[in-house]
Amino acid sequence: MTDAVGSIDMPDAQDEAPDSKKTRKGGKRAKKGPLRRLALFYRQIVAELRKVVWPTRNQLTSYTTAVIIFVVVMIGLITLIDYGLSNAAKYVFG
């Protein structure tokens, strides 16, 4: 029975190749010290932050306004539900 990868009985060709290469322990990180790795990490952070598309002041203002309005509406909704449930509990349990 064969499929796209191969059969269960016959291993793939890449699995049959002998391991003649020695693998380095740790890869590229083993060569660098911890301070160099930390510096590389911060350089990569700065490079990624440069790729970010930052919103304009108008977009930021409209997004912030929308979030504040949504939060106020949700607070009001939850307050009404809580008030209703507390009155219902007082009615049922005296």
Write out the two tokens for 33.
Answer: 């010290």
Q: Is 6 left (phi over 0), alpha (psi -120 to 50) or beta?
A: left
Q: What's 7's DSSP letter?
A: B
Question: What is the reported pLDDT for 23?
Answer: 58
Would the pLDDT of 31 be above 60? yes
14 versus 69: the higher-pLDDT residue is 69
Residue 10 has pLDDT above 90, yes or no: no
Listed residue (69, 50, 71) closest to 61, CA to CA: 69
Q: What is the pLDDT of residues 40-74, one digit of tens each?
A: 999 999 999 999 999 999 999 999 999 999 999 99
